[in-house]
Structure 1
């Protein structure tokens, strides 16, 4: 079995390669050529966290595996990461476990890649300004992917913790230099007002900005809400969006309050979900069609993305001589 650490993963796949892998996985899923059952959530009361189990099979890429990941929001107070996990891959011909990958970095990479893919198809071509609500690992992955597909020259950050926002701003300034202006906004509304693209990456149970702060033509990547009780986006934003896109209609309607709560309130309906992202990536449905269109990509994650990205990593790790072989 090949063990691939987060450190090795960072040297293996580029953001563009991850976006391409996610595109393949979502196209296969939307074409009903992949198996990704609704994931299993286990609430862990002692640590105030959630453990998630996600199996998937994507035969087109010989990707068979399971991701186990835990999200413990209070870990920062203990000097630990919010997300921990592993992905285990098996041989599609024999079922033999062949690789194990650290999953927190992989999760950040593939979640960011999904936002990059959505931005490629749904954001305006001339989008230049990016607002980011939340400054954790998922936000970093999404910023990297969005800036890979659009020529962003301004990033506005907001976090409830000014210190965390300032720290993230310093990281981005070091990363982009003078090519991107990085601003720490005083409020979430200040960050998103007039922004071409918005990323929300929080664990908030209530909307993180006001609906009136979002103008026409904005594209939103909402990647934080993954439980029915969590709602990052104002109900009115979902209600007036021209296109709401998800990875999996079934998964989104099972898991995210960003859609379930507006449905409960009678201002949105399941049939108003425009498309799965895989359908757009495959050219079966249009992406952005108007400059003034408000578009929303609501991501809850999909195990098909994990196993395809993991398989691409393992194949490339073997070619590069990275990872550690162990015998179980």
Structure 2
């Protein structure tokens, strides 16, 4: 059994490869070539957290996996990841565990990558300005993915804590200095949105983090943080008025994400507002953006097939590079 930590993964796998893996995973899922039960969520109210168990089987890769991931927002105050996790990868031919890897970094990588895939497929090719809402453990990979697929001049970062946004922008300007993008803290939510061609929200908010009426024509939006029925990052106006809406898993999003559950319950939209899954766009079963003026939304709650496909690709590369620690139990 191979053990891989964050450093090991970074040595063998980059964001571009993660985005390619995300596209493959989304296509596999939408074509029905995987088994992906809805995740099991266990509330931990004492610490305002949740632990999630996410299994999947991908026949084409002969691989099974389960990611155990927790979301404890207050961890950020303790200086530890707010989304700690471990990924367990099994050989689909034997059922035996072949790898355990750092699921926290895997989650950051594949979650950023799925937004990167959506941004690559749905946003305008000439996009120049980005907006990022949230500066937690997922934010860095979201920013890296955005910059990997589009040559942006500027990204404005907004957080309810202005100092945290400033510190994040300064740190990411150094970490992502290979990109010629100016990363700055936004003065306000409105300031972040008003000129944005790409907007990514990755918070734990229970109310909209931006004013949808300020979103300009042609903007692409990634909704990442709303993974429970009471969490709502996206403004209901923009959900109602977007031209195209896509999801990683329609059934999962409509079961789990308040971004859509809440406006549907209010009668503001119905399921027909959703155009389909991003995997269907990748497989060319449905159309993506058809106009430069289209406002597009991609909503992701995370599906375990992404973890299994990405983990499998990482495992393969680590074996070839002889990276990681082998142990026998």
Give me the TM-score of the superposition, normalised by structure 2: 0.97
Q: Secondary structure at the match of 2:46?
A: coil
**Residue of structure 1 in register with 2:272 after alignment:** 271
TM-score, normalized by length of structure 1?
Answer: 0.98
In the alignment, the residues of structure 2 paired with residue 150 and residue 168 of structure 1 have an alpha-carbon distance, to the nearest angstrom, of: 20
Aligned residues: 328
**Cα deviation 1:309-328 (Å, max 9, x = unaligned):** 00101110011111111111
Q: Closer, same or farther in 2 for the Cα pair 1:177/1:304, shift >3 Å?
A: closer
What per-residue deviation string (whole Å, max 9, x for no partner) do you get for residues 91-137 of structure 1?
11110111111101000100011001101111001001100111122
CA contact 1:127–1:150 (8 Å) conserved in 2 = yes
Q: Would you say the 8 A contact 1:139–1:199 is kept in 2?
A: no
Find the residue that maps to 1:313 and give its secondary structure: helix
Who is 1:9 aligned against?
Answer: 9
Report the Cα offset of residue 177 of structure 1: 6.6
Are the equivalent residues in 2 in contact too, given 1:139–1:201 (CA < 8 A)? yes
Where does residue 230 of structure 1 map in the other structure?
A: 231
Q: Is the 8 A contact 2:208 2:232 kept in 1?
A: yes
Q: Distance in 1 between matches of 2:324 and 2:261?
A: 41
Runs of 4+ off more than 3 Å: none
**Deviation (angstroms), 1:178:** 8.1
Map of 1:213 onto structure 2: 214
Provide the alpha-carbon RMSD of the alignment.
1.1
TM superposition shift of 1:70: 0.4
* Structure 1: tracts of 5 or more residues without a match: none
Matches within 5 A, 1:94-173: 94-173=94-173
Deviations 1:39-91, CA, capped at 9 Å, x for gaps: 01000122210000010011112221101000100012222210111111111
What is the CA distance between 1:22 and its match in structure 2?
1.1
Cα gap change, 1:178 to 1:309, in 2 (>3 Å): closer
Contact kept? 2:86, 2:102, Cα under 8 Å: yes
Matches within 5 A, 1:1-328: 1-174=1-174, 175-176=176-177, 179-328=180-329
Q: Secondary structure of the residue that 2:55 maps to in structure 1?
A: strand
Indicate if the aligned counterparts of 1:25 and 1:58 stay in contact, CA closer than 8 A. Answer: no
What is the SS of the residue equivalent to 2:245? strand
Distance 1:42 1:56, change over 3 A: same
* Unpaired stretches in structure 2, ≥5 consecutive residues: none
